[in-house]
Structure 1
Amino acid sequence: MLTGSTSPWPQGYRSAAVITIDFNDIYGILSQAPTVEGRDKTLSVWRYGTLRGVDRLLNLLAKKQVKTTWCLPAIVAQEQPLLLERILAAGHEVACAGDQHEDFSAMSLEEQVACVRRATEKLTALCGRAPRGFRTPAGQWKPGFAQALSGMGFQWSSCWRGDDLPYFHPGTSLVELPLHYELEDEPYFAFNLSPAVPPGQSRIASYQETLANMTQDFYGYHRFGLCYLLRLHPEIMGTAGRISLLEALIDTLQQQPVWLTTAQSVAEHWRSSQPANTPDHPAEVFQRLWAQHHG
């Protein structure tokens, strides 16, 4: 077993694991395909998470005594106060995913910042405390947005890829907890006929093969002492069949010396134990090259 002297994680843990859940209700598909507004049959595919999936996830997490991070647009928190109350009462973290699950690629930096300020005010009023984490609802954020998030009091984001350990956005104290497509449920299972999700169709993978993939990835992350971060959705992983897939995966994690915790806990630990990126970290190298190119 690795210890704190040879691992970036707290004493006794070889790796870290974080389960994040994107609870978007219908607003995720509305930002992706605005033409489905008013098409209740289509929207019911995404409402399933609100009607059934959230309950199944909360019940399983309570059974396994696991604390997770839920990423919500403010509008979902407003429209689903009873589910929000259950999430908070169970001790889970609530992070900000925009105001109405906006497409950030269509917004200026000023609009992005204003959106997050609105969402933060609403989530703070609803949750009784300000969110400390952020996930981009859709699209790309603009240069300078990480600095704005840090200035608003956010401590972490989980939006970018390209690494498997946390790191700081250069020039800020904002910790990034990287994502990977193979650790998300959407690439395996998200499906709808019209509008076509995915556009080329032919998805809904084997449950056992998906579990095998995610388990094998965990063993790799654990072997190298990394941060294994899942990104799940109530309407996808909260079905009657797939919930057992998640249960089996949690069982595997809990059989190993892995720190299974919230995104906020990982960010706090990283800020206290790793106060800065090393100068040769790719994020720092990219920032220097970007600054040289853009004057």
Structure 2
Amino acid sequence: MTYLQEPPVGRWPGQNRCAFVVTVGFEAELSVLAAAPDAVDRAKSLSVGQYGGNRGVDRLLAELARFGTRASWFIPGSNLLTYPRQADAVAAAGHEPANMGWALEDMGQQTLSQQLESIGRAQDAFDVLLGISPQGFRAGRGSFAAGLPEQLAGLGFTWSSSWHGDDLPHFHAASAADLVEVPRHHELDDFPYFVFNLDPPIPKGSPRIASSREVLRNWILEFDAYLAEGLCFVLTLHPEIIGTPGRVGMLRQFLEHVNSCSGVWQATGGEVAQWWRQNAAPNSPSHPAEIFHTLTREGAPA
């Protein structure tokens, strides 16, 4: 197979050819409520998400430990209260906890002040319950309000993994140059392939669950291309989805493939962001992030 370009030498530490980041969205039943708010009193539907806390977290932690893989775990603040043992286990295993707001709110429906309140409330919970102040952030639903990246940088956040517009990290904009975006992609996320609930239907109009064999093939195909082009591969997992006995076996096969390849820098999102900040050139004026922030400065139409 022919790829687009040869990777530039020295882009990643130790002359590695690509970066590989595992991220985890520990959403549990919040993922069900985000898709179907009317399921709040439906124990059967909520149990689909609760499986992630009750079983999936432990199984995923064990699988990551098998390979010595440290991941960045995005945890809504309210789940620190709902699942304190699991949150403690994530931190104790040496993973990187990161902020995902308070309760997986749809940020596209929130003002800037409401977004900051959600993020700050979660940050306080991390401080009180785990004794840490995460530096990473992910918008779990919806999008940034104008001005949020600048605010995040001012609050001590150093990186985000919310956008999908590149396959290399980039700075958010000249106005938020201390905040590095580590982009993710839907095809590298277990959620679009496997999320399923019968009633209420999640996702709406989709009566299928993808083949694990084909998802594994997709991920291997994408990873090989990222490796060939020297890019930053960001895998997104959810304990309630990947943490079933069969799917965690699929993850094992994928990690075996990654570990069989040379020239792979396995890092957390925070480590990638730190490397990028210290070694990469500023965004070009034509970079989509620069254009977006120019057009959506606070007060301008989004």
* TM-score, L = length of structure 2: 0.92
Q: Give the equivalent residue in structure 1 for 2:287.
A: 281
Q: How many angstroms apart in 1 are the aligned matches of 2:91 and 2:152? A: 23
Deviation at 1:146, TM superposition (A): 0.8
Q: How many angstroms apart in 2 are the aligned matches of 1:261 and 1:194? A: 39
Determine whether 1:135 maps to 2:138: yes
Match of 1:250 among 255, 259, 274: 255
* Cα pair 1:71 1:135 within 8 Å, conserved: yes
- Counterpart amino acid of residue 269 in structure 1: W
Determine whether 1:211 maps to 2:220: no
- Counterpart amino acid of residue 131 in structure 1: P
SS in 1 for 2:98: strand
SS in 2 for 1:220: helix
Q: Give the equivalent residue in structure 2 for 1:98.
A: 101
Deviation at 1:252, TM superposition (A): 1.1
Q: Give the equivalent residue in structure 2 for 1:107.
A: 110
Match of 1:271 among 264, 268, 277: 277
- Counterpart amino acid of residue 199 in structure 1: K
* Cα pair 1:96 1:135 within 8 Å, conserved: yes
Match of 1:147 among 123, 139, 150: 150
* Cα pair 1:28 1:137 within 8 Å, conserved: no
Identity across the alignment (%): 41
Deviation at 1:41, TM superposition (A): 0.8
Out of 253-262 and 237-246, give the one that drifted further: 253-262
Q: How many angstroms apart in 2 are the aligned matches of 1:157 and 1:289? A: 20
Deviation at 1:7, TM superposition (A): 3.3
The superposition leaves residues 99-139 of structure 1 with CA deviations (integer Å, 9 ceiling, x where unpaired) of: 12211122111111111111111112222110100011211
The superposition leaves residues 233-255 of structure 1 with CA deviations (integer Å, 9 ceiling, x where unpaired) of: 00110101000111111111112
How many residue pairs get aligned? The number is 291
Match of 2:50 among 23, 47, 50: 47
Q: How many angstroms apart in 1 are the aligned matches of 2:128 and 2:189? A: 30
* Cα pair 2:97 2:134 within 8 Å, conserved: yes
Unaligned runs of 5+ in 1: none
- Relative to structure 1, the CA distance from residue 55 to residue 143 in structure 2 (aligned partners, 3 Å threshold; closer, same or farther) is same
SS in 2 for 1:24: coil
Determine whether 1:6 maps to 2:12: no
SS in 2 for 1:192: coil
* TM-score, L = length of structure 1: 0.94
Determine whether 1:201 maps to 2:219: no
Q: How many angstroms apart in 1 are the aligned matches of 2:10 and 2:169? A: 13
Q: How many angstroms apart in 2 are the aligned matches of 1:195 and 1:230? A: 28
Q: Give the equivalent residue in structure 2 for 1:72.
A: 75
Deviation at 1:275, TM superposition (A): 5.0
- Counterpart amino acid of residue 45 in structure 2: T
The superposition leaves residues 34-55 of structure 1 with CA deviations (integer Å, 9 ceiling, x where unpaired) of: 1101211111111111111111
Q: Give the equivalent residue in structure 2 for 1:234.
A: 239
SS in 1 for 2:24: strand
Q: CA RMSD in A?
A: 1.8
